[in-house]
Amino acid sequence: MSTQSAPAAANRTRVTLTITAVIIAVVVIAFFVVSNLYTEVLWYEQLGFLNVLTTQWFAGAIMFLVGFFAMAIPVYVSILVAFRARPVYAKLNSQLDRYQQVIEPLRRLAMIGIPVLLGVFGGVSTATNWPIVLQWLNKTPFGETDPQFGLDVSFYFYDLPLFHGALGFASAVVLISGVGALATSYLYGALRFNGREVRISRSARVQISITAAIFIALQAASIWLDQYTTLYSPAQGFLVTGAGYTEANATIPGRAILAGIAAVVAVLFIVTAIIGRWRLPIIGTALLLVSGLVVGSLYPWIVQRFQVEPSAQTYEAPYIERNIDATREAYGVADVEEVPYSATSDAEPGALRADAETTANIRILDPAIAPNAFKQLEQFKQYYDFAPHLDVDRYEIDGQTQDTVIAVRELNQAGLGDSQTDYSNTFVYTHGYGLVAAFGNQRSSDGEPVFLESGIPSVGALGDFEPRVYFGEQSPTYSIAGGPEGSRPIELDYPSGGAESDANEQTTFAGDGGPKLDNVFKKLIYAIKFQSEQIFLSDAVTNESQVLYDRNPRDRVQKVAPYLTLDNDSYPAVVDGKIVWVVDGYTTGTNYPYSRVEQLSDMIADTYQPRPAFAVDDVNYIRNSVKATVDAYDGTVTLYSWDDEDPVLKTWEKIFPTTIKPMSDMSDQLLEHVRYPADLFKVQRAILGSYHVTDPGSFFSSDDQWITPDDPVSAAAAQTLQPPYYLTMQVPGTDAPAFSLYSTFIPRASADSTRNVLTGYLAVNSDAGPDYGKLTLLTLPKQTTQPGPGQVQNNFRTDTDVANQLALLQRGETEVRLGNLLTLPVGGGLLYVQPVYVQATSGTQYPLLRKVLVSFGDQIAFEDTLDQALDTLFGGDSGANAGDGEVVPTDATTPVDPTAPVDPTTPTEPTTPTDNAALSQALSDYQSALSDRQAAYASGDLVAAAEADERMVAAINQAIAATS
> With helix as H, strand as E and coil as C, how does 637-656 read?
EEEEECCCCCHHHHHHHHHC
Across 455-468, average pLDDT: 92
Largest Cα–Cα distance in the chain?
Answer: 138
Cα distance between residue 22 and residue 24, in whole Å: 5
In contact, 339 and 777? CB cutoff 8 Å: yes
Q: Is 67 exposed, middle or buried (0-12, 13-18, 19+ CB in 10 A)?
A: buried
Backbone phi and psi for residue 256, each to the nearest 5 degrees, phi listed first: -65, -40
Average predicted confidence (pLDDT) for the chain? 88
Rounded to 5°, the CA angle 332-333-336 comes to 135
Q: Write the DSSP symbol of residue 787.
A: B
Minimum mean pLDDT range among 20-29, 202-211, 712-721: 712-721
Residue 462: its pLDDT value, please?
93
Rounded to 5°, the CA angle 78-116-95 comes to 60
Instruction: Give yes or no for residue 88 having a pLDDT over 80.
Output: no
Which residues neighbour 538 within 8 Å (Cβ) at sequence distance 6 or greater? 423, 426, 427
Across 882-891, average pLDDT: 75
Side-chain-facing half-sphere of 883: CA atoms under 13 Å: 24
In contact, 936 and 948? CB cutoff 8 Å: yes
User: What share of the chain in percent tops pLDDT 70?
Assistant: 88
Residue 498: its pLDDT value, please?
61
Q: Is 181 exposed, middle or buried (0-12, 13-18, 19+ CB in 10 A)?
A: buried
Which long-range contacts does 203-208 make (Cβ < 8 Å, 24+ apart)? 203/81, 203/85, 204/82, 204/85, 205/272, 205/273, 205/276, 206/273, 207/78, 207/81, 207/82, 207/85, 207/181, 208/178, 208/181, 208/182
Q: How far is CA 301 from CA 244, 289, 398, 438, in A?
A: 13, 17, 69, 62
Q: Are β-strands 504-507 and 822-824 bridged in parallel, bridged antiparallel, or unpaired?
A: unpaired
Residue 250: its pLDDT value, please?
95
pLDDT tier at 912, thresholds 50, 70, 90: very low
Which long-range contacts does 799-803 make (Cβ < 8 Å, 24+ apart)? 799/860, 799/862, 801/862, 801/942, 801/943, 801/946, 802/853, 802/860, 802/862
Q: How far is CA 645 from CA 590, 594, 642, 662, in A?
A: 19, 21, 9, 12
Sign (positive or negative) of CA dihedral 68, 71, 74, 79: negative
**SS3 per-residue string spanning 349-403:** CCCCHHHHHHHCCCCCCCCCCHHHHHHHHHCCCCCEECCCCCEEEEEEECCEEEE
Which of 584, 590, 793 is CA-nearest to residue 681? 584
How many helices (DSSP H) and strands (DSSP E) are in the chain?
29, 34
In contact, 687 and 706? CB cutoff 8 Å: no
Rounded to 5°, the CA angle 927-931-933 comes to 115
Cα distance between residue 237 and residue 251, in whole Å: 12
**What are the b/e assignments for 196-227, b being 16+ CB within 10 Å?**
eeeebbebbbbbbbbbbbbbbbbbbbbbbbbb
Across 701-709, average pLDDT: 91
Across 417-429, average pLDDT: 91
Which residues neighbour 99 within 8 Å (Cβ) at sequence distance 6 or greater? 187
In contact, 52 and 111? CB cutoff 8 Å: no
In three-state secondary structure terms, 815 is strand
In contact, 439 and 404? CB cutoff 8 Å: yes
Q: Is 962 exposed, middle or buried (0-12, 13-18, 19+ CB in 10 A)?
A: middle
Which of 782, 738, 786, 784 is CA-nearest to residue 763? 738
Residue 199: its pLDDT value, please?
77
In contact, 478 and 548? CB cutoff 8 Å: yes
Which residues neighbour 343 within 8 Å (Cβ) at sequence distance 6 or greater? 758, 780, 784, 786, 825, 828, 829, 830
Across 732-759, average pLDDT: 86
Cα distance between residue 825 and residue 705, in whole Å: 22
**What are the b/e assignments for 80-108, b being 16+ CB within 10 Å?**
bbbbebbbeeeeeeeebeeeeeeeeeeee
In three-state secondary structure terms, 851 is strand
Cα distance between residue 323 and residue 596, in whole Å: 7
Across 905-930, average pLDDT: 53
Across 625-629, average pLDDT: 97
In contact, 635 and 556? CB cutoff 8 Å: yes
Across 357-380, average pLDDT: 92
Instruction: Give yes or no for residue 652 having a pLDDT over 80.
Output: yes
Cα distance between residue 439 and residue 395, in whole Å: 10
Q: Are β-strands 478-481 and 546-549 bridged in parallel, bridged antiparallel, or unpaired?
A: antiparallel
Cα distance between residue 378 and residue 372, in whole Å: 10
The distance from CA 557 to its chain's CA centroid, rounded to whole angstroms, is 13
pLDDT tier at 805, thresholds 50, 70, 90: confident
Cα distance between residue 183 and residue 181, in whole Å: 6
Minimum mean pLDDT range among 350-364, 802-816, 871-885: 802-816
- pLDDT tens digits for 235-272? 998 999 999 999 999 999 999 999 999 999 999 999 99
In contact, 832 and 792? CB cutoff 8 Å: yes
Minimum mean pLDDT range among 81-90, 246-255, 322-331: 81-90
Preceding omega of 593 cis (within 30 degrees of 0): no
Cα distance between residue 779 and residue 774, in whole Å: 16
Q: Write the DSSP symbol of residue 415.
A: G
Q: Write the DSSP symbol of residue 556.
A: H
Sign (positive or negative) of CA dihedral 825, 827, 831, 833: negative
Predicted TM-score (pTM) above 0.85: yes
Sign (positive or negative) of CA dihedral 131, 136, 140, 141: positive
- pLDDT tens digits for 140-173? 999 999 999 999 999 999 999 999 999 999 999 9
Residue 525: its pLDDT value, please?
94
pLDDT tier at 899, thresholds 50, 70, 90: very low
Residue 908: its pLDDT value, please?
33
Which residues neighbour 135 within 8 Å (Cβ) at sequence distance 6 or greater? 157, 158, 651, 652, 655
Q: What is the DSSP string of 236-283?
A: SSS-SSS--HHIIIIIHHHHHHHHHHHHHHHHHHHHHHHH---HHHHH
Residue scoring higher pLDDT (717 or 387): 387
Q: Give the containing element (helix H, strand E) for 748.
A: none
Backbone phi and psi for residue 521, each to the nearest 5 degrees, phi listed first: -65, -45
Q: Are β-strands 621-631 and 337-340 bridged in parallel, bridged antiparallel, or unpaired?
A: unpaired
Residue 1: its pLDDT value, please?
47
Which of 634, 542, 528 is CA-nearest to residue 579? 634
Cα distance between residue 817 and residue 476, in whole Å: 32
In contact, 129 and 135? CB cutoff 8 Å: no
Q: How far is CA 441 from CA 358, 372, 451, 461, 866, in A?
A: 11, 18, 11, 16, 9
Instruction: Give yes or no for residue 914 having a pLDDT over 60.
Output: no
In three-state secondary structure terms, 183 is helix
